[in-house]
């Protein structure tokens, strides 16, 4: 049991979890169950179902009876409640009741009951608790990243608020000036409406100008009258768009950094505390000497915490810990040590060599291997990709072009087969060889899709547009591979891939905010703007089914599909609003509420969330640029070198396809020892927090 408890402590420290539990054997088992991956996947599944219900609920994309969506929601709530009860068993009782999850679930239940009652009485009912659903995504999951982002926003709010007040003050002052300067000149907008005569309209127009959505339009009537007024607008844009928006970024970024630092400090403290408790459980006191953890227990522990680590990797870790002969101090670093990603390179002989050594080691076979490993091979394929790009750009109706696709496909397939012949397959498809995976998946799916497409075509039933689309996308995606050949690009791409998971966190954040705004927007604006298909002859098509839009730019530019009539179009509209706040159309329909809605959306998404995102990307790149290895990484590397297990620099550059090469060159020395030739390499350049 001791070992179980210690393992829980260590893995908690490693993954920076923050749950405290009592330490009876039963509680430890419950806690381990709570953190089991099956339960977590199930939880995410129910959250997805719960969020996805919006597609089926009124206003629905796919209309479904109320009992079905209500039933599904009840099921989800039940799942969350079970998870919550489980959670209550694991953490101290007093902490449980402070948890906001309870409130979310109870409020949702109340809302469902009221809604059901009102609906059965045929009254107008409102599902207001749908706004709470994304909050479950934040609260029910142990999404630390997401919660950290939320906390960092909460901490930045007071400072953002004061800058925002100042910014609004500036907008108000400029609006007053615009009213006084331009209101009495009898200018007309392009639609013939009076220009800049109503103060609130001016404030709104100038606020929208900050988002650059109505950039030259709002200024044109004044500019046409005299170029002096252009200076007014240029000053406005300089101060409010450029300076204030930069100040917002500065405030958000500064808070983000400050908060991150504080959080990391707390995590390090918590981790140290947990590792100390784990050591207390495992230590063996030798007379006179310091308490230590013996190797056998240490091995058992690692096996429990990280069953995926190989024996030799474990031995390497032990030798690093043991080397210092410091007992507790070395043990305390274990969590950090486990966090350093070490790539174990096992140089196995190629399976073909085992099957048919005479053939595989023959002169032509060796020549082939050398050819494939040569730089010219890469360059040849880069050229083929470029030619392919030109062919894709040409018209595929042409028979020659259509047939050339088969040639290219077989060339790519040949490349993969050749590489598989030369390099050891398990090395080729190891976790860290992103581009090998990418290549193979794209080429194989392209092959499958092309074959299916030809089969459908030759069967003469119909030419499926969907399959053809997939074929096209796969063909174009293949071209991306060329990026990997250029060293300079690889560095940037690698940084982007590394920050990928964190961008997903921001994706969740954005989805939470979008979901809330979509729900509110659908309640407020559903049905206000209608979309008529291309073949519709309804006269209402000219004004999107709303007489108020008659003659507006919104209708003229055919923006009718930008509406809140279902959850999908709401999301797409919100994305458009994030990019450019083109809300003039909606504002025309439902005057005040739409304006408030759009300004609020701009404040929350563009000023806060997008700035957090930018701050995050900036920080990630700065960390990449100023990469320092931690002490621990250095000592681990030193150990690897001491044991002569390191990958030589010249090999490292070639790592992607290098497995078999290592085997060939070192086989004389190492294989004679009878041991498998193992090599280690530290994967990540920067420590993850």
Contacts (CB under 8 A) with a copy of itself, residues 274-293: none
479 touches a copy of itself by CB under 8 A: yes
**Contact track, a copy of itself, 94-133, x by CB under 8 A:** ----------------------------------------
Q: Which residue has the tokens 């959670």?
A: 87
Give the C-alpha separation, 13 to 336, whole Å: 9
Kindly state the smallest distance separating residue 576's Cβ from a copy of itself, in Å. Answer: 5
Nearest to 431 by CA among 342, 364, 553, 328: 342
Q: Which of the residues 299 through 338 are near a copy of itself (CB under 8 A)? A: none
Cβ proximity to a copy of itself, 67 vs 625, nearer residue: 625
Give the C-alpha separation, 74 to 77, whole Å: 5
Spatial neighbors of 512 by CB under 8 A, at least 6 apart, are: 134, 135, 137, 138, 146
27 touches a copy of itself by CB under 8 A: no
The interface region with a copy of itself, picked from 3-11, 129-137, 171-179, 657-665 by CB under 8 A, is 171-179
Q: Which residue has the tokens 């009840």?
A: 74
Backbone φ, ψ for residue 531 (5° rounding): -105, 130
373 touches a copy of itself by CB under 8 A: no
Kindly state the smallest distance separating residue 531's Cβ from a copy of itself, in Å. Answer: 8
The interface region with a copy of itself, picked from 309-317, 347-355, 555-563, 675-683 by CB under 8 A, is 555-563
Choice from 45, 242, 429, 434 touching a copy of itself (CB under 8 A) = 242
Cβ proximity to a copy of itself, 53 vs 203, nearer residue: 203
Q: Which of the residues 502 through 541 are near a copy of itself (CB under 8 A)? A: 503, 531, 534
575 touches a copy of itself by CB under 8 A: yes
Q: Cis bond leading into 479, ω under 30°?
A: no
476 touches a copy of itself by CB under 8 A: yes
Choice from 60, 343, 572, 604 touching a copy of itself (CB under 8 A) = 572
Kindly state the smallest distance separating residue 256's Cβ from a copy of itself, in Å. Answer: 12
Give the C-alpha separation, 474 to 470, whole Å: 6
3-state secondary structure of 342: strand
The interface region with a copy of itself, picked from 139-147, 387-395, 446-454, 646-654 by CB under 8 A, is 387-395
Give the C-alpha separation, 396 to 402, whole Å: 5
469 touches a copy of itself by CB under 8 A: yes
Let me know if 560 is exposed, middle or buried by CB neighbors in 10 A (0-12, 13-18, 19+). Answer: buried
Choice from 103, 165, 294, 600 touching a copy of itself (CB under 8 A) = 165
Phi-psi region of 177 (alpha: psi -120 to 50; beta: other; left: phi over 0): alpha
Kindly state the smallest distance separating residue 449's Cβ from a copy of itself, in Å. Answer: 13
168 touches a copy of itself by CB under 8 A: no
Q: Which of the residues 579 through 598 are near a copy of itself (CB under 8 A)? A: 579-580, 582
Q: Are 609 and 509 in contact (CB under 8 A)?
A: yes
Kindly state the smallest distance separating residue 648's Cβ from a copy of itself, in Å. Answer: 27
Cβ proximity to a copy of itself, 45 vs 162, nearer residue: 162
Q: Enumerate the H helices of 394-543 as residue ranges.
A: 399-422, 425-428, 434-459, 465-479, 487-498, 500-525
166 touches a copy of itself by CB under 8 A: yes
Kindly state the smallest distance separating residue 399's Cβ from a copy of itself, in Å. Answer: 16
Distances (CA, A) of 272 to 82, 279, 284, 330, 682: 32, 10, 19, 12, 24
Cβ proximity to a copy of itself, 87 vs 559, nearer residue: 559
Q: Which residues pair with 284 in a beta bridge?
A: 292
Cβ proximity to a copy of itself, 362 vs 463, nearer residue: 463
Backbone φ, ψ for residue 307 (5° rounding): -65, -15
Give the C-alpha separation, 520 to 529, whole Å: 16
648 touches a copy of itself by CB under 8 A: no
568 touches a copy of itself by CB under 8 A: yes
User: What does the chain come to in residues?
Assistant: 689
Nearest to 32 by CA among 304, 272, 271, 297: 304
Backbone φ, ψ for residue 135 (5° rounding): -65, -30
Spatial neighbors of 558 by CB under 8 A, at least 6 apart, are: none
Q: Are 443 and 385 in contact (CB under 8 A)?
A: no
Cβ proximity to a copy of itself, 164 vs 423, nearer residue: 164
391 touches a copy of itself by CB under 8 A: no
**Contact track, a copy of itself, 180-199, x by CB under 8 A:** xx--------x--------x
234 touches a copy of itself by CB under 8 A: yes
**What is the enclosing helix (H) or strand (E) of 247?**
helix 245-282
The interface region with a copy of itself, picked from 110-118, 170-178, 360-368, 440-448 by CB under 8 A, is 170-178
Give the C-alpha separation, 583 to 562, whole Å: 10
Cβ proximity to a copy of itself, 335 vs 605, nearer residue: 605
Give the C-alpha separation, 43 to 72, whole Å: 14
Q: Which of the residues 394 through 413 are near a copy of itself (CB under 8 A)? A: 396
Q: Which of the residues 45 through 84 are near a copy of itself (CB under 8 A)? A: none
Cβ proximity to a copy of itself, 90 vs 610, nearer residue: 610
**Contact track, a copy of itself, 481-500, x by CB under 8 A:** --x----xx--xx--x----
Kindly state the smallest distance separating residue 421's Cβ from a copy of itself, in Å. Answer: 30
Q: Which of the residues 409 through 448 are near a copy of itself (CB under 8 A)? A: none
Choice from 18, 246, 286, 464 touching a copy of itself (CB under 8 A) = 246
- Site size with a copy of itself, rule: CB under 8 A: 78
Give the C-alpha separation, 332 to 152, whole Å: 29
173 touches a copy of itself by CB under 8 A: yes
Kindly state the smallest distance separating residue 208's Cβ from a copy of itself, in Å. Answer: 12
**Contact track, a copy of itself, 606-625, x by CB under 8 A:** ----x--xx--xx--xx--x
Give the C-alpha separation, 484 to 657, whole Å: 13
177 touches a copy of itself by CB under 8 A: yes
Kindly state the smallest distance separating residue 565's Cβ from a copy of itself, in Å. Answer: 12
Kindly state the smallest distance separating residue 404's Cβ from a copy of itself, in Å. Answer: 15
Q: Are 283 and 292 in contact (CB under 8 A)?
A: yes
**What is the enclosing helix (H) or strand (E) of 682?**
strand 677-682
Give the C-alpha separation, 346 to 1, whole Å: 34
């Amino acid at each position: 049991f001791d070992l179980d408890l210690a393992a829980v402590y260590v893995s908690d420290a490693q993954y920076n979890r923050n749950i405290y539990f009592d330490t009876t054997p039963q509680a430890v088992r419950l806690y381990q169950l709570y953190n089991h991956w099956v339960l977590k996947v199930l939880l995410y599944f129910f959250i997805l179902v719960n969020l996805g219900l919006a597609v089926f609920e009124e206003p629905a994309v796919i209309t479904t009876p109320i009992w079905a969506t209500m039933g599904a929601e009840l099921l989800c709530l039940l799942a969350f409640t079970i998870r919550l009860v489980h959670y209550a068993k694991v953490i101290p009782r007093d902490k449980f009741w402070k948890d906001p999850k309870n409130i979310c679930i109870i409020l949702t239940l109340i809302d469902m009951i009221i809604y059901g009652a009102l609906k059965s009485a045929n009254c107008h009912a409102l599902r207001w608790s749908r706004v709470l659903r994304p909050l479950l995504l934040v609260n029910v999951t142990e999404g630390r990243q997401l919660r950290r982002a939320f906390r960092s926003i909460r901490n930045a709010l007071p400072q953002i608020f004061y800058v925002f007040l100042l910014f609004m003050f500036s907008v108000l002052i400029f609006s007053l000036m615009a009213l006084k300067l331009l209101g009495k000149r009898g200018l007309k907008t392009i639609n013939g409406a009076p220009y800049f005569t109503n103060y609130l309209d001016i404030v709104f127009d100038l606020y929208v100008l900050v988002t650059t959505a109505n950039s030259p339009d709002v200024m044109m009537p004044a500019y046409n009258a005299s170029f002096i007024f252009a200076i007014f607008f240029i000053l406005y844009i300089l101060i409010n768009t450029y300076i204030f928006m930069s100040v917002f970024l500065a405030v958000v970024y500064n808070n983000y950094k400050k908060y991150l630092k504080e959080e990391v400090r707390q995590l390090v403290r918590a981790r140290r505390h947990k590792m100390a408790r784990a050591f207390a459980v495992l230590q063996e006191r030798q007379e006179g000497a310091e308490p230590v953890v013996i190797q056998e227990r240490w091995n058992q522990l690692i096996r429990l915490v990280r069953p995926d680590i190989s024996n030799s990797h474990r031995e390497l870790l032990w030798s690093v810990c043991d080397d210092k002969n410091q007992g507790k101090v070395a043990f305390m670093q274990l969590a950090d040590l486990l966090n350093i990603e070490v790539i174990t390179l096992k140089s196995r002989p190629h399976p073909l060599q085992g099957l048919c050594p005479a053939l595989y080691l023959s002169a032509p076979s060796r020549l082939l291997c050398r050819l494939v490993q040569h730089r010219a091979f890469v360059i040849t394929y880069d050229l083929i990709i470029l030619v392919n790009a030109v062919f894709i750009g040409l018209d595929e109706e042409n028979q020659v072009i259509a047939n050339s696709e088969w040639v290219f496909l077989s060339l790519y397939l040949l490349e993969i087969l050749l590489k598989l012949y030369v390099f050891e397959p398990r090395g080729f498809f190891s976790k860290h060889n992103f581009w090998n995976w990418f290549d193979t998946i794209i080429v194989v799916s392209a092959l499958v899709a092309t074959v299916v497409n030809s089969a459908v075509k030759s069967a003469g039933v119909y030419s499926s547009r969907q399959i053809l689309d997939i074929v096209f996308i796969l063909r174009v995606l293949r071209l991306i591979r060329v990026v990997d050949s250029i060293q300079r690009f690889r560095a940037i791409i690698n940084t982007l891939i590394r920050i990928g998971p964190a961008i997903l966190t921001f994706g969740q954040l954005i989805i939470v905010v979008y979901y809330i705004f979509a729900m509110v927007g659908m309640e407020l604006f559903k049905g206000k703007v209608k979309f008529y298909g291309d073949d519709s002859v309804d006269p209402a098509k000219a004004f999107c089914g709303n007489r108020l839009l008659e003659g507006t730019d919104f209708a003229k530019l055919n923006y009718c599909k930008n509406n809140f009539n279902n959850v999908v179009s709401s999301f797409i509209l919100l994305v458009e609003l994030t990019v450019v706040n083109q809300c003039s159309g909606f504002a025309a329909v439902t005057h005040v509420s739409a304006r408030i809605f759009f300004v609020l959306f701009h404040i929350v998404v563009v000023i806060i969330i997008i700035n957090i995102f930018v701050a995050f990307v900036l920080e990630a790149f700065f960390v990449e640029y100023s990469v320092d290895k931690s002490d621990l990484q250095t000592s681990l590397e030193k150990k690897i070198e001491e044991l002569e297990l390191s990958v030589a620099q010249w090999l490292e550059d070639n790592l992607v396809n290098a497995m078999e090469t290592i085997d060939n060159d070192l086989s004389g020395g190492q294989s004679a020892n009878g041991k498998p030739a193992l090599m280690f390499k530290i994967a990540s350049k920067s420590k993850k927090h």
